[in-house]
């Protein structure tokens, strides 16, 4: 077994979990993804990238989880779209590799040359997007910030700071 196959199997989403995930409707996941993309990326993308992305159907495919997220750039934001047979660009990797990319722990070129990240379709568009993302100062995605205890703690703090300290006078 080669090194890459061992890596993929060691960090893969377990097949029973992937079987459940692959049965979920695609559109809600795409909607969640574009919400994050719009919050983090939309305002930072250079105009030439926005122009080139306009109307292009892009798919992010999480191979080991059986998930696909379809979206398009329209106007000033990304919009989720229903899955379609034809996409202009499909970017595929494992869940683990996408997380490592978001955390800036892995370089897309290294993943690409090790065949852990792939692009299908309009590769010129893919390279333009990759180069634009490399040039942006994006926050590093910290998965621990989204663990249930961390989210509950932030909600608790927000609730305590938003409550009035004294009851209203009558």
Residue 59 lies in a domain: yes
Residue 132 lies in a domain: yes
Please report, in tens digits, the pLDDT of each residue of the chain (170 residues total): 444 444 455 688 898 888 888 888 899 999 999 998 898 888 888 899 999 999 999 999 999 999 999 999 998 899 999 998 899 999 999 999 988 888 888 888 899 899 999 999 999 999 998 888 888 776 655 666 767 787 778 778 888 777 666 666 66
Residue 159 lies in a domain: no
The reported pTM is 0.75
Residue 166 lies in a domain: no
CB 76 within 8 A of CB 82: no
Q: What does the pLDDT look like over 149-168, one tens digit per residue?
A: 877 787 788 887 776 666 66
- What CATH number has the domain bearing residue 114? 3.30.1050.10
Host domain of residue 118: 3-144
Residue 33 lies in a domain: yes
Residue 150 lies in a domain: no
**Domain count across the chain:** 1
Residue 83 lies in a domain: yes
Checking phi first, is residue 24 left (phi over 0); if not, alpha (psi -120 to 50) or beta?
A: beta
């Amino acid at each position: 077994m080669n090194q890459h196959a061992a890596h993929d199997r060691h960090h893969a989403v377990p097949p029973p979990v992937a079987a459940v995930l692959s049965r979920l409707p695609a559109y809600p996941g795409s909607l969640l993804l574009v919400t994050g993309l719009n919050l983090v990326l939309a305002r930072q993308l250079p105009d030439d990238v926005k122009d080139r992305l306009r109307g292009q159907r892009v798919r992010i495919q999480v191979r080991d989880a059986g998930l696909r997220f379809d979206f398009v750039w329209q106007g000033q934001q990304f919009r989720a779209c229903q899955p379609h047979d034809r996409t202009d660009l499909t970017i595929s990797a494992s869940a683990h590799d996408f997380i490592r990319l978001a955390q800036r722990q892995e370089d897309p070129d290294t993943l690409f040359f090790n065949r852990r990240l792939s692009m299908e379709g309009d590769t010129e568009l893919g390279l333009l997007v990759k180069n634009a993302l490399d040039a942006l100062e994006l926050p590093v995605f910290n998965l621990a910030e989204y663990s249930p205890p961390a989210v509950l703690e932030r909600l608790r703090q927000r609730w305590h700071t938003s409550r009035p300290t004294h009851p209203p006078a009558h």
